[in-house]
């Protein structure tokens, strides 16, 4: 059987495999997607998803909320940086005291 797969016949077989393998792969994974890959509760419901503000008041409220969240994150970051800086200064003082002894 393999003796017949020489020259042009081998090239035809390889070309057929190159063409049919991706098509078969796409057919296998492209059919019946709802039953094969569906996970209940994966996509958020309308109540859980974002609502895009349309009125000016809603836009202003959303901007105020986003600015408040940013301000809280900034305060937390600054507090963490201040704490880290205080710890670094304390470590430096401890090392300086140990080196003087």
3-state secondary structure of 63: helix
In this prediction the pTM is 0.47
Contact between residue 53 and residue 59 where contact means Cβ atoms under 8 Å apart: yes
Q: Where do the structural domains in the chain lie, given as residue ranges? A: 1-39, 52-101
For residue 2, name the pLDDT band (cuts at 50, 70, 90).
low
Q: Is 40 left (phi over 0), alpha (psi -120 to 50) or beta?
A: beta
Q: What is the pLDDT of residues 44-100, one digit of tens each?
A: 788 878 888 899 999 999 999 999 999 999 999 999 999 999 999 999 999 988 888
3-state secondary structure of 38: coil
């Amino acid at each position: 059987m393999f003796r017949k797969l020489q020259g042009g016949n081998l090239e035809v077989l390889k070309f057929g495999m190159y063409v049919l393998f991706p098509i078969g792969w796409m057919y296998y994974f492209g059919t019946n997607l709802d039953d094969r890959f569906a996970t209940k509760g994966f996509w958020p419901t309308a109540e859980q998803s974002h609502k895009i503000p349309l009125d000016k008041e809603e836009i202003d409220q959303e901007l105020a909320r986003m600015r408040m969240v940013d301000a809280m994150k900034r305060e937390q970051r600054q507090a963490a940086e201040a704490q880290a800086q205080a710890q670094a200064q304390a470590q430096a003082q401890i090392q300086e005291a140990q080196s003087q002894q």
